[in-house]
Structure 1
């Protein structure tokens, strides 16, 4: 499962305040896929330092069953 959201980011980079349009991506997968997803983002992302965050979550039983069935 993959969602994309446009955002306007303001951040310091190399001593300068930057303002740029970016895309936030939320990827829902199993814990076992974390390293594969992280490696793929690093390989494909144009930034020198992409923000890649893993969030462990609790979910309802029906959704967990569905994710386990659908995600390889």
Structure 2
């Protein structure tokens, strides 16, 4: 059950990595710096155009949960540490409900 009905603005950032090890390393970097409250790692198959060729690759989708305030720092960190020449950076505006929203804001508080 959701405690309370308050909604906290948050951001979901999507990016992909070539393998679990690189995704895990990036996730740890973001979490240790309190740029992300939570990072979910999902194995996926990506199909896309790259340098004139159709690609079909196994990747790891990262779903990164953060606050609107931490978003600029998070995007900078991902851009600088990502192994891809052109990393996927998709930002979705969302709201976190109830106590999860309070936890998320606390988790990314730089203290």
TM-score (normalised: structure 2): 0.59
Q: Which moved more, 1:39-48 or 1:56-65?
A: 56-65
Greater than 3 Å deviation, 4+ residue runs? none
List runs of 5+ in structure 2 lacking aligned partners. 1-37
CA distance in 1 between partners of 2:69 and 2:58 (Å): 31
Query: RMSD of the TM alignment (CA)?
Result: 1.2
Residue 73 of structure 2: SS of its match in structure 1?
helix
Counterpart contact for 2:39–2:63, Cα < 8 Å: yes
TM-score (normalised: structure 1): 0.87
Residue of structure 1 in register with 2:107 after alignment? 70
List runs of 5+ in structure 1 lacking aligned partners. none
CA distance in 1 between partners of 2:62 and 2:81 (Å): 13
Residue of structure 1 in register with 2:89 after alignment? 52
Residue of structure 1 in register with 2:73 after alignment? 36
Residue of structure 1 in register with 2:10 after alignment? none
CA distance in 2 between partners of 1:50 and 1:38 (Å): 11
More strand by share: 2
Number of aligned positions between the proteins: 72
Residue 72 of structure 2: SS of its match in structure 1?
helix
